[in-house]
């Protein structure tokens, strides 16, 4: 449906892209990249389009970014798609966003399966519309045995609620004797979070020029490298991701120690 225009130009692009990928892969790439995909509304506004047009365009970028992450050998790509606070938005916008997983997976799932991508989701499933949840659970089920890139959608996700729920669960497990209080350490506590089987992000990207976390992975980002760009999410492309990774490769991570 898409990408029908200018096949020659695309071909030329893909060969230069391949070279760029190979160059970046000469140094270690971050294993877990997390992205706060922001700026869809402003992208639409700049074009005098409704906000939902920005979300639709942003969905195409999810596709491109997933493909590139897979080619780069990134192990996990976490994408912040909808926060627990985003329910405050106009009803029609929320309804539209909740239809996007079906649309995205409806066309992209066969490719994800083919590319050995494993789909995961973190967030509160209970409040999601049935049709949204069904599309996601199908993708999770159909890709559960895949061993390549983990594509982890943060959908109806909020970090404070996540941490608070973990605390409550820890209290319950102590009360019922499943766990002893003195056994609780950072590693054990991490296992109570929605990311229990996922390593902390190495690189966090936020688009659209906002320099904040907006309730995203507050515990997990403790030692993550941050990369911010003014680029709006629908304008985010392969070169931007490669630029972020190259920047990451020049950082010195010390984790509190000395180099």
Which residues contact ligand IPE (rule: CB under 6 A)?
Answer: 36-42, 80-83, 86, 97, 208, 210, 212, 214
Q: Are 213 and 221 in contact (CB under 8 A)?
A: yes
Catalytic hit among 13, 86, 92, 200:
86
| Nearest-angstrom CA–CA distance, 40 and 58 | 6
Write down the least CB distance from residue 37 to Mg ion, Å.
9
What sign has the CA pseudo-torsion 53, 57, 58, 59? positive
Q: Are 66 and 77 in contact (CB under 8 A)?
A: yes
Write out the two tokens for 220.
Answer: 């997990």
Sheet strands (E) in 112-255: 118-122, 150-157, 203-206, 225-228
Catalytic hit among 13, 38, 116, 235:
38
38 or 225, CB closer to Mg ion?
Answer: 38
Write down the least CB distance from residue 1 to ligand IPE, Å.
22
**What are the C-alpha distances in Å from 121 to residues 48, 151, 219, 242?**
33, 8, 18, 25
| Nearest-angstrom CA–CA distance, 109 and 114 | 8
Binding segment toward Mg ion, per CB under 5 A, in 38-46, 115-123, 153-161, 191-199: 38-46
Q: Are 153 and 198 in contact (CB under 8 A)?
A: no
98 or 149, CB closer to ligand IPE?
Answer: 98
**Residue 64's binding partner, choosing from ligand IPE, Mg ion, none, with beta-carbon cut-off 5 to 8 A by kind?**
none
Of the residues 24, 36, 37, 38, which one makes contact with Mg ion according to CB under 5 A: 38
Binding segment toward Mg ion, per CB under 5 A, in 34-42, 68-76, 110-118, 241-249: 34-42
Write down the least CB distance from residue 42 to Mg ion, Å.
8
For residue 179, what is the DSSP state?
A: S
Residue 202 contacts Mg ion per CB under 5 A: no
Would residue 10 show up in a list of annotated catalytic residues for this protein?
no
Closest CA to 155 of 78, 95, 90, 89: 78
36 or 69, CB closer to ligand IPE?
Answer: 36
Write out the two tokens for 113.
Answer: 């399966």
Residue list for the binding site = 38-43, 51, 55, 83-85, 87, 89, 206, 212-214, 225
42 or 240, CB closer to ligand IPE?
Answer: 42
Would residue 165 show up in a list of annotated catalytic residues for this protein?
no
**Residue 231's binding partner, choosing from Mg ion, ligand IPE, none, with beta-carbon cut-off 5 to 8 A by kind?**
none
Q: Which residues bind Mg ion (CB under 5 A)?
A: 38
Could you give the residue numbers annotated as active site?
A: 38, 86
């Amino acid at each position: 449906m898409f990408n029908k225009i200018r096949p020659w130009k695309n071909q030329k692009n893909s060969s230069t892209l391949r070279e760029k990928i190979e160059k970046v892969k000469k140094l270690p790439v971050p294993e877990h990249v997390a992205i706060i995909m922001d700026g869809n509304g402003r992208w639409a506004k700049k074009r005098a389009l409704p906000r939902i047009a920005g979300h639709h365009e942003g969905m195409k970028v999810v596709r491109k970014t997933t493909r590139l992450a897979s080619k780069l050998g990134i192990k996990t790509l976490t994408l912040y798609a909808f926060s627990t606070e985003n329910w405050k938005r106009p009803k029609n916008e929320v309804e539209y966003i909740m239809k996007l997983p079906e649309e995205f997976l409806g066309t992209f799932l066969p490719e994800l399966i083919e590319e050995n991508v494993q789909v995961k989701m973190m967030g509160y499933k209970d409040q999601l519309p049935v049709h949204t949840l069904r599309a996601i659970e199908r993708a999770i089920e159909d890709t559960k045995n895949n061993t390549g890139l983990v594509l982890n959608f943060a959908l109806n996700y909020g970090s404070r609620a996540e941490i608070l729920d973990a605390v409550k669960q820890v209290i319950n497990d102590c009360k019922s004797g499943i766990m002893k209080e003195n056994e609780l350490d950072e590693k054990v506590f991490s296992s109570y979070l929605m990311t229990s089987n996922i390593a902390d992000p190495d690189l966090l990207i936020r688009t659209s020029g906002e320099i904040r976390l907006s309730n995203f992975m507050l515990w997990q980002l403790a030692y993550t490298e941050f990369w911010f760009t003014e680029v709006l999410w629908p304008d985010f492309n392969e070169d931007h991701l490669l630029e972020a990774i190259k920047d990451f490769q020049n950082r010195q991570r010390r984790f509190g120690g000395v180099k």
